[in-house]
Structure 1
């Protein structure tokens, strides 16, 4: 029986020519003989002899040229595709950088405006605090007066205390414009009495009363009375923050005073030293020749808002 030759069909549009298998006819062994090419091995029953007949020999020069042409065409096609993608990515990156620069400029402008507004608000707060303290210049705050003194008796009680402390003043100088206790209910039966705030008609009377009460002790019903300036709450809060510095000055017998707008003043060796912010107290104490406490040395000035850079550098620079 004559054997028929079979070949495998391949799609040349999908597979390079060099990869197309080449076949040749192989003589079959007669009467049980073996082929000289396969070492005498016979195909197993039912196997496809066409698959065994494929030529696996070396490629020719023509095959190599076809392979080179195929690889060059594929490289050119991939290069064109990559070039187009890089151009698209470059265009998008340029647009993103332009938008990032616009965002950086906007952020920096807003930061500048915010710092300007913060400075203006601080200036307005200082002016408002100064106005509040100026409106209280004739006020005096009395601490320690028992709650048993009724509101109707406050005027007569304070007038009697002033006559005792300032007997040389004319009776007209004891004039009180208004007097009342601080706002708010009393916290408890055993709580300290609320302060009394009085506005004296004459500023000179208020100054004389504060000087006299500073030098001598004043008592009322076996209780000590204390006289203070009536100041804005913000000013009192700032003075409490300066307690570390004021205690250091008092421990070295350095006399100080408070100025308006808020500042601390020290007169030493014919010179006047002043400071307005607590974070600057380190230089202030150095000028006075005093040791700076750790609580003051750790203070830093307020930092400005961060700015964004418009300069772009390649990755890794």
Structure 2
């Protein structure tokens, strides 16, 4: 019985030691500075220890205060960040407004320039046509003959030309076949070396020139020495260049057996189904061909005025 009592007392003592309250200071716990360092040396730093409240209850008010304090700090930080963002956004908005205004001004200026360029192109084309017409009028009684051999020298040209014209248009009276001037002209560089130079002659009467040109379309059988001669209207270089712009139109007309002839200053007179239609520009000729369901392949580049621009946004009022 006594032994049993001693065992119970020993167990109680062990429990009391295990559940004993911890000392509030290191010294009370039996620890020295050296023990705290763990190296047992003398060069130790004294520990700063402040005892906290014992058994502090974690209440709802305490948590609420912590949450409110944290919310206040977060809100303050967010407000500061948002203020900086608003300032940056306002700066960007001001810059974008300035850029949009500049773009709008540049668009208006570009459209003014494009309008002026288009007007100047029309004026330039009109002036060029007038100059070409004046130059062609000074050549309107000229004829260009190609294929006359170089053996026919200058003193013999008059007799050769009169003989050719009489064979070409025998109905013309001899008294109207008057040649004011006749001479050879410089040969283009792209022609072969053995190609004879063209002969340019100025007839006294315009109607005689037209009659000779009309006679070349009759298919008259000429003597051998005249068969290889070709007759052309004498035109300025600018007029010939303008006529080249109609090349795709004239080729399409020839392929479809549609008759045409050239008018002045630069226009195409097309005869189809008994009706004569005028094309003043290559684009007008292409539109006519498309209307008649005639295929055409445009060639060359069309020099158009700059296109008008329009802003890609609309300014809104705030």
Q: Normalised by the size of structure 1, how large is the TM-score?
A: 0.70
Answer yes or no: is 1:275 the counterpart of 2:271: no
* Alpha-carbon separation, structure 2, partners of 1:238 and 1:194: 24
Q: How many equivalent residue pairs?
A: 280
* Alpha-carbon separation, structure 2, partners of 1:172 and 1:42: 145
Answer yes or no: is 1:44 the counterpart of 2:45: no
Alignment of 1:1-317 (within 5 A): 27-28=25-26, 44-45=38-39, 50=47, 64-184=67-187, 190-215=193-218, 216-219=220-223, 221=225, 224-288=228-292, 291-293=294-296, 295-296=297-298, 305-310=306-311, 312=313
Q: Alpha-carbon deviations, 1:89-117, whole Å to 9, x = none?
A: 33333222222211111111111111111
**SS state of the match for residue 100, structure 1?**
helix
Q: Alpha-carbon deviations, 1:53-101, whole Å to 9, x = none?
A: 898x988665554444433333333333333333333333322222221
Name the stretch that deviates more: 64-73 or 144-153. Answer: 64-73
**SS state of the match for residue 217, structure 2?**
helix
* Alpha-carbon separation, structure 1, partners of 2:259 and 2:116: 41
| Aligned equivalent of 1:16 | none
Q: Do the aligned partners of residues 32 and 131 (structure 1) sit closer, same or farther apart at CA in structure 2, a change above 3 Å counting?
A: same
Give 1:253 shift.
Answer: 3.9
Name the stretch that deviates more: 216-225 or 156-165. Answer: 216-225
Give 1:274 shift.
Answer: 2.5
Q: Which runs of 5+ in 2 are unaligned?
A: 1-22
Q: Do the aligned partners of residues 47 and 62 (structure 1) sit closer, same or farther apart at CA in structure 2, a change above 3 Å counting?
A: farther
* Alpha-carbon separation, structure 2, partners of 1:214 and 1:137: 19
* Alpha-carbon separation, structure 1, partners of 2:224 and 2:178: 21
Please say if residues 286 and 292 of structure 1, whose CA atoms lie closer than 8 Å, have aligned partners that are also in contact: yes
**SS state of the match for residue 147, structure 1?**
coil
* Alpha-carbon separation, structure 2, partners of 1:254 and 1:31: 125
* Alpha-carbon separation, structure 1, partners of 2:104 and 2:113: 14
Give 1:174 shift.
Answer: 2.3
| Aligned equivalent of 1:7 | none
* Alpha-carbon separation, structure 1, partners of 2:90 and 2:29: 71
Q: Alpha-carbon deviations, 1:13-67, whole Å to 9, x = none?
A: xxxxxxxxxxxx9632768779xxxxxx965337867589898x98866555444
* Alpha-carbon separation, structure 1, partners of 2:151 and 2:189: 12
Please say if residues 117 and 305 of structure 2, whose CA atoms lie closer than 8 Å, have aligned partners that are also in contact: no
Larger radius of gyration: 2
Q: Do the aligned partners of residues 303 and 50 (structure 1) sit closer, same or farther apart at CA in structure 2, a change above 3 Å counting?
A: farther
**SS state of the match for residue 81, structure 2?**
helix
Please say if residues 245 and 300 of structure 2, whose CA atoms lie closer than 8 Å, have aligned partners that are also in contact: no
Q: Which runs of 5+ in 1 are unaligned?
A: 1-24, 35-40
Give 1:139 shift.
Answer: 0.6
Q: Do the aligned partners of residues 159 and 89 (structure 1) sit closer, same or farther apart at CA in structure 2, a change above 3 Å counting?
A: same
Name the stretch that deviates more: 203-212 or 304-313. Answer: 304-313
Q: Normalised by the size of structure 2, how large is the TM-score?
A: 0.70
* Alpha-carbon separation, structure 1, partners of 2:282 and 2:50: 98
